């Protein structure tokens, strides 16, 4: 390996994954835009209250896919082909088990979940319908995440991107058809979202059927140690995804008391934009994961260090561009989703976006750092960063600031929490380097 080849791989993997993740985030953009146009503020509220369940399903898929893909790439780079296939096989076992759990939950408990998420009589039916469809399609969501992650770690980032884009474009088209010409309302939005991963899987299938892939399912008795490795490596992306759901549930709870359904509708606009923003950082982190894991597994220290620097520079540049677009375009963005031209909704959304997305540089740093630690076999530090982001810092900060500053405090809670976690992540990084166990290599080889 050379510095030039490492940079080329970085550009190739990261660009494909950022584009793919941005397309994937169109799931929610399309749902929100079409539901807002057809069902108004109540439709936005229903989507926002239901979305934490989508985050749980997606987070579980990423935990299995990213966790399994990371372990696969590391052992594969060490020439352990048998162990690599064992990793894939155990990841498939996990998908089957979680898919069964989610489907049963959709059949029997969607109404219970709707009430727990805060649905009142005006939006209960819509939330119940949306949740039921999502949970019944969970096998497709989980399988899609699994295959995309393993294909990416199998050296085919372009195929992974093509699958994500195909699913997202189909979701937008089907959203329009189901909601407007067919008049299926919230059911149509959920059904279109559920069909999208099916189409993504269909795009990947020829690669598997022609046996071009290097990962294979093998007969194996489930081993607790192998399952634990996948979960350990997959917790950071799981928590990153779940954080969106936690933020949504927590902020919905707080905003409902401060500003009612109209406040939640405004937050749903911010949430949609947030998902696109986080998708860019997730694409960056997913892009660096296979090549950092491969360099680390092969023992190339300089390669890992170079990739870390490239990722940090990219995260800073992305953050500057993203925040500039949001700050100057906040009014226009809010207007697109404000189909009823509600002045209160518009005011809440514009002010909220400009404060909420001050978190951008800290989000990027935290997500990339967690992925870096996972990819270099430091999962506990990655888990700590992810858990601090999703729970232990965010929750108390949100309650404290909202009780003192009202809605302004709600919007400021997220950037403050991410800033605090970024400072802690810097300490982790320096601590790991000072101990000589920063995960750069096995044996201290150089890539140059």
What is the tens place of the pLDDT at every residue in 266-315?
888 898 898 889 889 989 998 998 999 889 888 888 889 999 999 999 99
402 lies in a domain? yes
Percent of the chain's residues with pLDDT above 90: 54
* pLDDT at position 434: 60
The count of domains in the chain is 1
Residues 201-210 have a mean pLDDT of: 94
Q: Give the residue from 92, 29, 123, 91 showing the smallest Cα distance to 333.
A: 29
Max mean pLDDT among 43-57, 133-147, 293-307, 386-400 falls in 133-147
Does the pLDDT at position 103 exceed 80? yes
212 DSSP assignment: -
Confidence of residue 447 (pLDDT cuts 50, 70, 90): very low
The CA-atom distances, in angstroms, between 97 and each of 40, 102, 142, 360 are 37, 9, 11, 35
Does the pLDDT at position 318 exceed 70? yes
* pLDDT at position 178: 93
Dist. CA 290–CA 157, nearest whole Å: 10
Q: Is the dihedral of CA 252, 258, 259, 261 positive or negative?
A: positive
444 lies in a domain? no
Confidence of residue 38 (pLDDT cuts 50, 70, 90): confident
Query: Which tens digit of pLDDT belongs to each residue from 109-130?
Result: 999 999 988 878 888 999 999 9
DSSP SS3 for 445? strand
Dist. CA 274–CA 206, nearest whole Å: 34
CB burial string 370-384: b at 16+ within 10 A, e below:
bbbbbbbbbbebbbb
434 HSE (CA, 13 A, CB side): 6
pTM, 2 dp: 0.78
Percent of the chain's residues with pLDDT above 70: 95
Average pLDDT of the residues of the chain:
88
* pLDDT at position 439: 42
448 lies in a domain? no
58 lies in a domain? yes
CA angle 118, 336, 44 (to 5 degrees): 15
Indicate the angle between helix axes 138-153 and 185-209, nearest 10 degrees: 40
Q: Is 64 in contact with 100 (CB distance < 8 Å)?
A: no
441 lies in a domain? no
268 versus 446: the higher-pLDDT residue is 268
Q: Is 16 in contact with 160 (CB distance < 8 Å)?
A: yes
Q: Is 448 in contact with 2 (CB distance < 8 Å)?
A: yes
* pLDDT at position 446: 34
112 lies in a domain? yes
Of 40-49, 60-69, 168-177, 313-322, the one with minimum mean pLDDT is 40-49
64 lies in a domain? yes
357 HSE (CA, 13 A, CB side): 30
Q: Is 292 in contact with 375 (CB distance < 8 Å)?
A: yes
Query: Which tens digit of pLDDT belongs to each residue from 142-176?
Result: 999 999 999 999 989 899 989 989 998 898 899 89
* pLDDT at position 279: 87
445 lies in a domain? no
* pLDDT at position 443: 38
Confidence of residue 435 (pLDDT cuts 50, 70, 90): low
Confidence of residue 444 (pLDDT cuts 50, 70, 90): very low
* pLDDT at position 247: 76
What residues make up the domain containing 313?
Answer: 3-434
* pLDDT at position 41: 75
Confidence of residue 55 (pLDDT cuts 50, 70, 90): confident
């Amino acid at each position: 390996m050379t510095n030039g080849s490492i940079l080329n791989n970085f550009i190739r993997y990261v660009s494909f994954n950022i584009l793919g993740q941005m397309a994937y985030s169109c799931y929610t953009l399309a749902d929100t835009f079409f539901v807002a146009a057809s069902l108004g503020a109540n439709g936005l509220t229903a989507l926002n209250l239901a979305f934490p369940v989508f985050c749980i399903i997606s987070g579980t898929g990423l935990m299995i896919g990213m966790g399994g893909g990371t372990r696969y790439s590391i052992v594969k780079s060490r020439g352990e082909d048998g162990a690599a296939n064992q990793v894939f096989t155990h990841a498939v076992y996990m998908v089957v088990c979680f898919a069964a759990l989610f489907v049963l939950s959709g059949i029997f408990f969607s109404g219970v979940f709707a009430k727990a998420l805060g649905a009142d009589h005006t939006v209960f039916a819509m939330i119940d319908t949306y949740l039921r469809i999502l949970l019944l399609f969970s096998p497709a969501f989980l399988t899609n995440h699994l295959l995309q992650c393993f294909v990416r770690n199998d050296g085919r980032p372009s195929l992974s991107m093509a699958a994500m884009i195909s699913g997202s474009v189909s979701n937008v088209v089907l959203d329009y058809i189901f909601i407007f010409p067919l008049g299926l309302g919230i059911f149509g939005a959920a059904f279109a979202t559920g069909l999208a991963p099916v189409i993504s899987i269909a795009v990947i299938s020829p690669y598997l059927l022609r046996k071009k892939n290097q990962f294979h399912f093998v007969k194996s008795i489930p081993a607790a140690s192998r399952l634990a490795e996948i979960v350990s490596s997959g917790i950071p992306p799981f928590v990153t995804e779940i954080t969106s759901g936690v933020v949504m549930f927590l902020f919905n709870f707080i905003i409902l008391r401060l500003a009612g359904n109209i406040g939640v509708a405004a937050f749903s606009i911010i949430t949609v934009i947030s998902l696109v923003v986080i998708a860019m950082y997730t694409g960056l982190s997913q892009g660096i994961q296979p090549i950092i894991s491969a360099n680390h597994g092969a023992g190339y220290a300089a390669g890992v260090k170079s990739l870390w620097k490239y990722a940090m520079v990219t995260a800073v540049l992305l953050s500057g561009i993203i925040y500039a677009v949001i700050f100057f375009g906040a009014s226009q963005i809010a207007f697109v989703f404000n189909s009823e031209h509600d002045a209160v909704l518009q005011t809440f959304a514009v002010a909220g976006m400009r404060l909420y997305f001050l978190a951008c540089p800290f989000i990027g740093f935290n997500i990339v750092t967690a992925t870096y630690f996972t990819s270099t076999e430091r999962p506990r530090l990655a888990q700590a960063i992810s858990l601090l982001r999703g729970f232990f810092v965010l929750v108390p900060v949100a309650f404290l600031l909202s009780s003192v500053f009202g809605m302004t405090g709600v919007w400021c809670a997220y950037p403050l929490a991410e800033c605090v976690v970024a400072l802690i992540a810097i300490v982790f990084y320096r601590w790991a380097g000072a101990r000589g166990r920063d995960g750069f290599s096995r044996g201290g080889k150089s890539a140059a």
